[in-house]
Structure 1
Amino acid sequence: MAVHEGQLEATEQNGGNQQRGAEEEEEDIEEYVPVKKRRLMAAQQLLNKKAVKGANGANMTSTLDEQEGLKSSEIKPSLLVKSSQLKKDAPEISVTEALVMQEKEMIERLSEKKHLVPVRELAKGISYTEPMQTGWKPPLAIRNLSEKDCKDIRRQWHILVEGDEIPPPIKNFKDMRFPDPILKKLKAKGITRPTPIQVQGLPVILSGRDMIGIAFTGSGKTLVFVLPLIMLALQEEVRMPLIGGEGPFGLVVCPSRELARQTYDVVEEFTAVLSEKGYPQLRSMLCIGGIDMRSQLEVVKHGVHIVVATPGRLKDMLAKKKMNLDNCKYLTLDEADRLVDLGFEEDIREVFDHFRGQRQTLLFSATMPKKIQNFAKSALVKPVVVNVGRAGAANLDVIQEVEYVKQEAKIVYLLECLQKTPPPVLIFCENKADVDDIHEYLLLKGVEAVAIHGGKDQEEREFAIASFKAGKKDVLVATDVASKGLDFPDIQHVINYDMPAEIENYVHRIGRTGRCGKTGIATSFINKNQSETILLDLKHLLKEAKQRIPPVLATLDDPMEEAEELAKASGVKGCAYCGGLGHRISECPKLEHQKSQAIAGTRRDYFGSGGYGGEI
């Protein structure tokens, strides 16, 4: 029994010794502290040190929760928190101000690319700060006109100008110092005094300034850029005559072959009278598709002074080095907004890359929305904007009539419409198939009609235009290819068989009548096939021109009546992108359409149908 008790005591003693040994071992092991906790403790120690220094040794203790609170205060606020804080601190702006800012940003984004700057100049950082110098000066009496006198003349002729050091307006051709043969030719054509765009535009261009010219259709814009071009070519030829393969001195780019042909004919008219009177011969060339290139190259071989071209053929000739722009100092983009809208932007930029020095650049159109003006101003040198009337406004000499006609009844009602006035009459359609159908229908009804659209070959197109201009045919049925800039004599009536998708096209179409001070009638068929946007644009255009608004348009819900405050605040009436008065840029269907086209284009490139890939 005693042994047993002794063993038990020894066992207990051994157990106690083991327990103490384990406790000692546990004391040697460092307890694991999570990373988060260690960081907090390190931050706390740092804070304690700072607090000790700042408070002369005052102790600072805190619980783990307090440590976490201090740590969280050290963490920087997120961008979301900052954004909400900025919004709270920012001054409150009205809905109108917010919309104005949004529209401004949209316009700035659209004009970010400098489309008109050559790649070489862009790469080398070349920029011109002073306009080109010409040898032209107005008479002393004109030069001595005060700023007040100039403003009075502009007010009298309803001319709006923007720019620095604008040359004074001149009210007659003689003071513009044109040669006698040109003055006599103008008189023979019945042009005795300049139109408003010519009063200000000609002195600006003759002075060598870059210009954006905006004036209603039929206001004589062609002469504004043709006459200074002839004067420049004459001056350069006298100074240093061209030899074979050289030239041109001046270039005019047009969106359609018909407009290029018409401009070329005007140039030829004036250069011919000069050479007849003993002035140096000026050779001009028409550079358009559909014509044998060999005849065009023949002119270049002898040295060409003036070229009138469409972008496609011009680009082709420059790429093949059949012609160069080394000596070219003068460039006009006629109907500039259409050149951009029709997808010629890249072609024009490629043409710009062939210039070797500074050039005088001119842009002309009846419809020149803000987006075109913005990207043009970024590339032009000290540009002068000459504006006669609102950009995109309809010609006030045209009586606009709008009639609701069901789609199936239009072709029958067309014959009744033709009875409104004697011929010649122009009929516009949206697509080629309708042009052919109407042409066939009119021929069956015994009407002397011709047709023109992009699907016809050049010979057919030229025959149609020539026979209509000569009065051999009474009616011309056409797509929008005939709506831009073409000058038909004595057109009394324009019929819009289809309303165009864009209000700019409507303005150009009805501008084929009511030209050079004469009056004309424009009849437009509308029905439920048209979008509400284009109908609202039409309603506002009629209202602006003080024309009768038909009940079908008057009853439309008009969001622009509520947007008058926005128009006043932004300084832009209607849409800054397309010029339509019935909507703002944020709802512009044309902008949406072009965005979708751009997306479709990038997709085509991605799938191999663009760039270096082959077509699928």
Structure 2
Amino acid sequence: MAEEAGARREEAPEETIEDDDGYVEYVPVKKRRLLEQQKLLQRKGQNSSLVEDGRGAAESKPSLLVKASQLKKDQPEISATEQLVRQEKDMIDRLSERKTLMSVRELAKGITYTNPMQTDWRPPSHVRHMSEAECDEIRKQWHILVEGEEIPPPIKNFKDMRFPDPILRKLKEKSITRPTPIQVQGLPVILSGRDMIGIAFTGSGKTLVFVLPLIMLALQEEQSSSLGGGEGPFGLVVCPSRELARQTFDVVQEFTNVLREKNYPELRSMLCIGGIDMRSQLEVVKKGVHIVVATPGRLKDMLAKKKMNLDRCKYLTLDEADRLIDLGFEEDIREVFDHFKAQRQTLLFSATMPKKIQNFAKSALVKPVVVNVGRAGAANLDVIQEVEYVKQEAKIVYLLECLQKTPPPVLIFCENKSDVDDIHEYLLVKGVGAVAIHGGKDQEEREYAIASFKQGKKDVLVATDIASKGLDFPDIQHVINYDMPAEIENYVHRIGRTGRCGKTGIATSFINKNQSETILLDLKHLLKEARQRIPPVLATLDDPMDNVEEVARASGVKGCAYCGGLGHRIGECPKLEHQKSQAIAGTRRDYFGSGGYGGEI
């Protein structure tokens, strides 16, 4: 019997034996795998024979891998230049679309505004009837570049802009007899109620471009429906630093005071910045405030505490907009946007506005007009730029020599607060009348330093980049960069403190081996663009941009689209890398005991 059962097993090895009682013989895993392989091989053999016979063509399908390789072969070959252009465009699009600069309420409810704000302002008939060719001729003459739909015509004098007589007289008093290029196109755009991105070199009169229309709007609103106690403002200006906010506030008050003197309705303005007792600011709000000039922190605080509201606000200006976003005020601005109850006219201004900021900002604007005088991020051509190689240990001694180049006042920029204090102390020991300003000083000290320097009581101001953005020192003849900044944008803003309003100035920058090659290449290209002398130490640098001129032509972006530097492309941008590393560090804060319940380190 045993022999017969063994013979039966040998005859049918592939079949499992089942008794009448339901018993199934166990087949080892190894043997099962071999059986499966044999079955697969048999099927493959059948399929191949069918294909050879012409009968299995319909049953055999190519794999996804074969399809993918076939698609690649069919695609036209892309040149290295085109590939790089596409990569850069994808990077810019990703950065621009990361978040839209809109309020949470508008995003949540899907609120979008399609038509610009309407105003009662109308230019004279001869301006309205200008042909497109005539407008383009004026823009070409004044080197104005514009983008957008239905752009209002440029106006070459203040009288045709229909400002009240007291304002025109005040402008004349300040020796402002004709508008600058940014004012020629910018003022008609804003007076028409259009959203705008304004880009022009420092000292070109950007402040008046948004202050004068703001005063006109407040005047019109007050005349039609006067403000009650606790109401307002009609217009809001947000600045990145207290000093810039103070300067803008002073300009607003200058013009509102002359209107009041000539029996126009009183326009109350408020300076909303940190370092000042909030009670004095609340006193103005209680009476009803027409215009507010603010820094993001204090403004957000007052709105959150319901000390002020933006229910009637129709006008928002972000001055030095790129700086506001770079300094991390993006979320604060978004929170401010949440307090608007209706559509507002939004304006963004800066001297350096790279493409990524423009794309990002357009999400908050309605049919915006971009007004650009010169390349965004270009240096002021009225400044003579001198670059000198000075060893680190010799800089402070050489500084005294540099001060002899021109008569005072002179502005010295440093990267660190400690360097500002050291240089300030050194200059005082050497008998130089100097003051210093940086973020570590209290508001009273900062205001005293700026005021005494502007009034000519002190000859030298030593500062960090806090004094580089937007501050107007009309008589400065010389700016010294004791340290080169980490970003070329800051260099452009720094040297723009001189050579203002058509005057010429000198900018001296100390460089040495401490600077990164990227910033030196950016500086080299900036000097080349402004037709300035390039020192041998920069001329001998290996320049990777020589090989990517074709990419710049194909993409339409000269240099880096992220920071505006001309010495590198966006793929090698140190600022972008730094911000990415900061973002990564921010996500890891909790792991190191910071940002959680344990408090800050």
TM-score (norm 1): 0.90
- Equivalent of residue 253 in structure 1, options 228, 238, 247: 238
Q: Confirm or deny that 1:194 pairs with 2:158.
A: no
Q: Offset at 1:201?
A: 0.0
- Equivalent of residue 95 in structure 1, options 80, 86, 97: 80
Q: Which residue of 1 aligns with 2:300?
A: 315
Q: Confirm or deny that 1:561 pairs with 2:546.
A: yes
Gap change, CA 1:25 and 1:539, over 3 Å in 2: closer
Q: Confirm or deny that 1:604 pairs with 2:582.
A: no
Q: Confirm or deny that 1:31 pairs with 2:15.
A: yes
- What amino acid is aligned across from residue 250 of structure 2 in structure 1? D
- Equivalent of residue 470 in structure 1, options 447, 455, 479: 455
Pairwise mapping of residues 26-175 of structure 1 onto structure 2 (< 5 A)? 31-32=15-16, 34=35, 63=46, 66=49, 74=60, 77-78=63-64, 80-175=65-160
The alignment of Structure 1 onto Structure 2 pairs a total of residues equal to: 581
Unpaired stretches in structure 1, ≥5 consecutive residues: 1-14, 45-61
Q: Confirm or deny that 1:341 pairs with 2:319.
A: no
Gap change, CA 1:597 and 1:240, over 3 Å in 2: same
Q: Which residue of 2 aligns with 1:304?
A: 289
Q: Offset at 1:563?
A: 1.2
In 2, are the aligned partners of 1:493 and 1:520 still within 8 Å (CA)?
A: yes
Gap change, CA 1:87 and 1:606, over 3 Å in 2: farther
What is the CA–CA distance in structure 2 between the aligned matches of 1:110 and 1:612, rounded to whole Å?
32
Q: Confirm or deny that 1:207 pairs with 2:192.
A: yes
- Equivalent of residue 220 in structure 2, options 206, 212, 235: 235
Gap change, CA 1:28 and 1:438, over 3 Å in 2: closer
What is the CA–CA distance in structure 1 between the aligned matches of 2:552 and 2:8, rounded to whole Å?
87
Q: Confirm or deny that 1:272 pairs with 2:235.
A: no
Q: Offset at 1:562?
A: 1.4
Alignment deviations for residues 347-402 of structure 1 (CA, whole Å, 9 cap, x no partner): 11111111111110000000000000001112210000000000000000000000
Q: More displaced, 473-482 or 559-568?
A: 559-568
Gap change, CA 1:290 and 1:559, over 3 Å in 2: same
Gap change, CA 1:36 and 1:356, over 3 Å in 2: farther
- What amino acid is aligned across from residue 267 of structure 1 in structure 2? V
Gap change, CA 1:76 and 1:357, over 3 Å in 2: farther
In 2, are the aligned partners of 1:448 and 1:474 still within 8 Å (CA)?
A: yes
SS in 1 for 2:370: strand
SS in 2 for 1:378: helix
SS in 2 for 1:333: strand
SS in 2 for 1:400: strand
Percent identical among aligned pairs is 83
In 2, are the aligned partners of 1:114 and 1:379 still within 8 Å (CA)?
A: no
Q: Which residue of 2 aligns with 1:494?
A: 479
Q: Offset at 1:141?
A: 0.8
SS in 1 for 2:71: helix
Unpaired stretches in structure 2, ≥5 consecutive residues: 17-31
Alignment deviations for residues 44-63 of structure 1 (CA, whole Å, 9 cap, x no partner): 9xxxxxxxxxxxxxxxxx65
Gap change, CA 1:243 and 1:560, over 3 Å in 2: same
Q: Offset at 1:20?
A: 7.5
SS in 2 for 1:489: coil
- What amino acid is aligned across from residue 256 of structure 2 in structure 1? T
SS in 2 for 1:443: helix
Q: Offset at 1:113?
A: 2.8
What is the CA–CA distance in structure 2 between the aligned matches of 1:317 and 1:250, rounded to whole Å?
16
Q: Confirm or deny that 1:520 pairs with 2:520.
A: no
Q: Offset at 1:89?
A: 1.9
Gap change, CA 1:231 and 1:613, over 3 Å in 2: farther
Q: Offset at 1:75?
A: 6.3
TM-score (norm 2): 0.93
- What amino acid is aligned across from residue 77 of structure 1 in structure 2? S
SS in 2 for 1:525: strand
In 2, are the aligned partners of 1:428 and 1:478 still within 8 Å (CA)?
A: yes
SS in 1 for 2:446: helix
SS in 2 for 1:267: helix
